[in-house]
Chain A
Amino acid sequence: MISLKNITKTYKNTPVVKNVTLELPKGKIISLVGSNGAGKSTLLGVIARVLNPDDGQIIINERNIEDYKTRLLAQHISILKQSNHLNLKLAVKELVAFGRFPYSQGKLNTTDQEKINEALTFLELDDLKDRYVDELSGGQKQRVFLAMVVAQDTDYILLDEPLNNLDMKHSVQIMKTLQALCKQKGKTIIMVVHDINFASQYSHYIAALKSGEIKYFGKTQDIIEPKKLKDVFDIDFEILEHNNKKICNYFN
C-alpha cells in the first residue's frame, strides 16, 4: 500500500499540490482525474520521487521512501512519463532490457532474460523486438515503454497519461493490457487519465483533483456522479449506464 501524508509541492510560490493525504489500495487500478493544472502529474511525479515534495511523506510498504536505497526502491515502484523522446538508436529488446537495471545493474542473467522475454510476449512485441524504437509508430512505442516497465516487475506502476496521442483502438489495447497486469500479476496501477470514460470503464478507484487538492476519492461508481463531476470539472455531465458501467456524456 502507498500512503501519502500531507504532500505539498510548490513551484515558485504557486502551490500545485496542497496538503494531499491519501491511501492507495494495493492490487487495484487507480485513476487520477482533474482538469489541466490540477496537479495530477505533479502528484504522480512526487510519488515516483522524480520530483521532490516540499513537505510531507510517502510511505510504501510501511516504509518511508527516503529510507529506501534508490536501487531497491526501483524494484518496488516504476513510472512511465508522458513524453518518452529518445534520440538514440536503440532496439526494442535493448530498451526493454533496461527495465532489469535495478536488479542486475546492466549485467543480465538468465532470470533477467526470462523477464525480458516475458514482458515482450505480454505486450505482443515478439515480432518487433529487433526493430529500432525510433522507427515505430506511437502505439507501438507506448507498448515498448510499457514492456520496459513490465520487465522492471514492480508492485506499483505509475503511468502519466498512458493514452496520450493514441487512437481509440490503441487506447483500448493499452487499457486491456493494464487490466491484465492488474489481474494476472497483481500489480497496482496508478495513472493519470484525461478521458473520464476510460477512467470510468477500467479503473477500480478514482481520485479527483481540483487546484492541487483531492476533492473526491473512492470507488469508481461512487465518484462518477453528475454533481461530483461538475464540481471537479466545472461542466455539466450526463451519466448513462450500460452493462453496469457508467458512461459520461459531457458534449453539451
Chain B
Amino acid sequence: MTAITKKMSILLLLTLGLIALFLFIGLPNNWDYALEKRSVKIVAIIVVSCAVATASVIFQTLTSNRILTPSIMGFEAVYFLFQTVIIFIYGDKTFRVINQENNFFLSILCMLLFAFVIFKLLFKKEKNNLYLLLLIGLVLGTLFQTVSSFLQLIIDPNEFLMLQGSLYASFNSINYDLLWYASGTLLLCFGVVFCFTNHLNVMLLGRDQSINLGVNYFKKTQLFLFLIAILVSVSTALVGPITFLGVLVTNLTYELFKTYKHQILIPACCMVSVVSILLAQYVVEEVFQYNSTISIIINFVGGIYFMYLLFKAKKL
C-alpha cells in the first residue's frame, strides 16, 4: 500500500506542479486578464481529462479489454454527423441560427439519444450482450462517419474550414458558461462512480462471479454505460472528440499502478490524463505556435504507444 501512496503523491505533485507552471509562467503585465483566461483553460482541461479517464477505465472494466475506448460505441461519430449536418443545412449562417450554447446542448442531446436508442434495443430482455452493443455502435459509427464525409465533400470549402474547427479537440476557445454546466454534470457523475468503485472491482472478475457475489450485474452494467454516455458526450460537446486519449492514459495508469482497485485506478488515471493533456497543450502552444492541434499530438504519441502495446502483447 505504501508504494502506491508514494506513487500517488508523486503523481499529485507532478500534476499540481504542471498546473502551476501553466498558470503562472510568463504572466504579462496585465496579469489578471491572462490569469482568468488561463484558469478557464485549466479547469476545462481538468474536467475533460477526468471525464475521459473515468469513462475509459470503467469501459475497459466492463468489456474486460484494455485496448478499447468508449469511442467505439460511436458517440463521436454522432457528434461529427451533427456538426456536419448543421453546417450543411445553414452554411455560413450557422452561427446566427444556432449559437454556441444551443449547439452544446443539442450535441449532448443527440449523443444521449443515440446511446438511449442502442441501449434500449439491446437491453430489452434482460440479456445484455455487451459485445453486440459494441458491434452495433461500431457499425452505426462507421455509417455516420461515412455520411459525414460525404456531406463534407459536397459543402463549400469555406464552410468546410468552419466545420473543421469543431471536429478537432481544442482548449483554446472555451465558453465560460458552458464550462460551468459541464463541470457540474461531470462532478455529479464522478460522485456516482465513487459510490460504486467496490462494485467495479467485483465486476473485473466477470459476469458470473459478479452475480455470485451479489452484484446486480445487469443493472450495474446499464448504470455504468449510462454514466459513460454522459461523461463522453459532455466532454465531447465541450472541446470536441477527445476519447482517443483513453487507451494511452489507462494503459499508462495500469502500468504505473499494478492494482485492480478502482478507488486508486480512477483518480490516478485522471491525473495521468491531466498531465498528458497539459504536456500536449504545451507542445501545441510553444513548439507548434498553435499550428497543430492537441488531437494530432496525442494521436501521434498514443498511436506509437498503442503499437508498443500490441508488440508487447505478441511477445507474451
Q: Is the CB of B213 within 8 A of A101?
A: yes
Query: How many angstroms from the CA of A49 to the CA of B259 in the assembled complex?
Result: 30
Q: Contacts A52-B126, A87-B64, A101-B198: A152 and B258 contacting too (C-beta < 8 A)? A: no
Q: Could you say which residues of chain A place their CB within 8 Å of the CB of B207?
A: 50
Q: Is the CB of A74 within 8 A of B201?
A: no
Of A73, A86, A106, which one neighbours B201 at CB under 8 angstroms?
A106
Q: Could you say which residues of chain B place their CB within 8 Å of the CB of A98?
A: 201-202, 205, 209, 213
Interface code A67-80, partner B: CB below 8 Å = 1, 0 otherwise? 00011111100111
Residue of A nearest to B205 (CB): A98
Q: Is the CB of B215 within 8 A of A70?
A: yes
Q: Could you say which residues of chain B place their CB within 8 Å of the CB of A50?
A: 207-208, 211-212
Q: Is the CB of A71 within 8 A of B214?
A: yes
The total of interchain contacts (Cβ-Cβ below 8 angstroms) comes to 57
Q: Contacts A50-B208, A81-B208, A105-B198: A99 and B213 contacting too (C-beta < 8 A)? A: yes
Residue of A nearest to B126 (CB): A52
Query: How many angstroms from the CA of A78 to the CA of B208 in the assembled complex?
Result: 10
Q: Contacts A89-B258, A89-B260: A70 and B211 contacting too (C-beta < 8 A)? A: yes
Q: Is the CB of B211 within 8 A of A49?
A: yes
Q: Within 8 Å of chain A (Cβ to Cβ): is B204? A: yes
Q: Could you say which residues of chain A place their CB within 8 Å of the CB of B216?
A: 70
CB distance from A206 to the nearest CB of B (A): 25
Which of B197, B202, B209, B212 has the most chain A CB atoms closer than 10 A to its own CB? B212
Q: Is the CB of A152 within 8 A of B211?
A: no
Interface code A200-224, partner B: CB below 8 Å = 1, 0 otherwise? 0000000000000000000000000
Q: Is the CB of A88 within 8 A of B204?
A: yes
Of A52, A74, A88, A90, which one neighbours B212 at CB under 8 angstroms?
A74
Query: How many angstroms from the CA of A86 to the CA of B64 in the assembled complex?
Result: 10
Q: Is the CB of A79 within 8 A of B64?
A: no
Of A72, A81, A86, A90, which one neighbours B214 at CB under 8 angstroms?
A72
Instruction: List residues of chain A with CB under 8 Å of any chain B CB.
Output: 48-50, 52, 70-75, 78-81, 84, 86-90, 94, 98-99, 101-102, 105-107, 152
Given contact pairs A70-B215, A74-B213, A101-B214, a sample of 11 additional A-B residue pairs in the complex whose CB atoms are under 8 Å apart: A49-B211, A50-B208, A52-B126, A79-B208, A88-B205, A98-B201, A105-B198, A106-B197, A106-B198, A106-B201, A152-B212
Q: List 18 A-B contacts (CB under 8 A).
A: A48-B211, A50-B208, A70-B214, A71-B214, A75-B214, A80-B212, A87-B64, A88-B260, A89-B258, A90-B260, A98-B205, A99-B213, A101-B198, A101-B215, A102-B214, A106-B198, A152-B212, A152-B213
